[in-house]
Structure 1
Amino acid sequence: MIKLHDLEFEPYLGPEKIQDTVKQLAEELSKDYSSKTPIFLGILNGAFMFLSDLLKYYKGDCEVSFTKLASYKGTSSSGEVSTLLGAGNLKDRDVIVIEDIVDTGLTLEHIVSQLKKEGVASFKIASLFFKPEAYKKSLPIDYVGLEIPNKFIVGYGLDYNGLGRNLPEIYQLKSSIDD
């Protein structure tokens, strides 16, 4: 059990399971992009650990860029997405969007809109975690590491109001007796 700010979190996934999942995703991407040089577009801040490990296992040429978006306040989505840092020129490039987690899909919708405006050659979406119960959009998630329940999680890049990103494992919000 850990406490971040005012909330308690309990262990959910260990580092071994996370790394096995990241390796499997890297193998799929390496196979699918063996004849291309994609740009991995990491969505900050959450995806930095996932993208770093993914690239260690990726077998092929690639480039890396980042964009910073914000949609969360506390433990829930604010319903709005703000672009805090742009990705640079992606025109005519094959882009792999790297997300730490996809829940409502609001951030993805914003990213896809931006990629279409940029005129990318192609784009695919890879997410370490996916919450199908929370997903409200119709965009395909092309590479999914793990489907998880619609519970708030922290660790391995994911945070609660800035804390918990540095944890090598995943914790989920402790359930209350009323749940």
Structure 2
Amino acid sequence: MNTPADMPTIDRAERLYTPAEVEQAADRLATAIDGWLDGRDCVALCLLQGAIVTTGMLLPRVHAPLQLDSIHVTRYRNTTRGHDLEWFASPRTPLKGRRVLIIDDILDEGHSLAAVEAWCNEQGAAEVRAAVLVNKHHDRKTPEAHADFIGLEIPDRYVFGYGMDYHGWHRNAPGIYALPE
């Protein structure tokens, strides 16, 4: 198991976005989500664990009526490389005939987000949209992966903070940081 002593310190990482910039991105995301919902209700699905912070920032900013639930899938298992998708928990809220907003921390390769969206559609959701705090720029995204609402753009580097982790640590970093190149 990695310990804090094994982790790179935040002072050696490059801060890509300050807390104020992340908060402004959350405002923009909420405004766009409210525009889509136009006062209609929605099931917000927090993609655990990374999207806990993003979900917590977004919910008070969205004015449409929401029900909150979560879904827990992962590919990373506290590592920096993706593995096969592992499902831990499904939402308890029925999705049939409902608008669903999947909230995730990052759109990287998109395997998890695409799988969750497909699962929501299999459950009979009327409409599924995805919101991510950050979108990583590269050409390795799965073709099915997309986000309808994006807060911030980042380069193709390993990032942490605001829910994103490095070996299970630094989800609480005050900003979005990239590991040294």
- Fold similarity call, TM over 0.5: yes
Aligned match of 2:55: 51
Q: CA deviation at 1:161?
A: 1.5
Q: Are 1:109 and 1:139, in contact at CA under 8 Å, matched by a contact in 2?
A: yes
Aligned match of 1:108: 113
Q: CA deviation at 1:4?
A: 6.5
Runs of 5+ unmatched residues, structure 1: none
Runs of 5+ unmatched residues, structure 2: none
Q: Are 2:73 and 2:85, in contact at CA under 8 Å, matched by a contact in 1?
A: yes
Aligned match of 1:7: 8
Out of 107, 126, 130, which is 2:131 matched to? 126
TM-score normalised by structure 2 residue count? 0.89
3-state DSSP of counterpart to 1:163: coil
Q: Quick one: percent identity of the two aligned structures?
A: 26
What is the identity, as a one-letter code, of the residue corresponding to 2:42? P
Alignment of 1:144-159 (within 5 A): 144-159=150-165
Q: Deviations over 1:104-128 (max 9, x none)?
A: 1111121122112111111001111
What is the identity, as a one-letter code, of the residue corresponding to 1:141? A
What is the alpha-carbon distance in structure 2 between the residues aligned to residue 163 and residue 91 of structure 1? 36
Aligned match of 2:34: 30
The alignment covers a number of residue pairs equal to 172
More strand by share: 1
What is the alpha-carbon distance in structure 2 between the residues aligned to residue 93 and residue 113 of structure 1? 14
Residues 170 and 139 from structure 1, CA distance in 2 versus in 1: closer, same or farther, beyond 3 angstroms?
closer
Q: CA deviation at 1:132?
A: 3.0
What is the alpha-carbon distance in structure 2 between the residues aligned to residue 146 and residue 11 of structure 1? 13
Tell me which stretches of 4 or more aligned residues in structure 1 moved more than 3 Å: none
Q: Are 2:19 and 2:175, in contact at CA under 8 Å, matched by a contact in 1?
A: yes
3-state DSSP of counterpart to 1:29: helix
What is the identity, as a one-letter code, of the residue corresponding to 1:172? A
Is 1:62 paired with 2:69? no
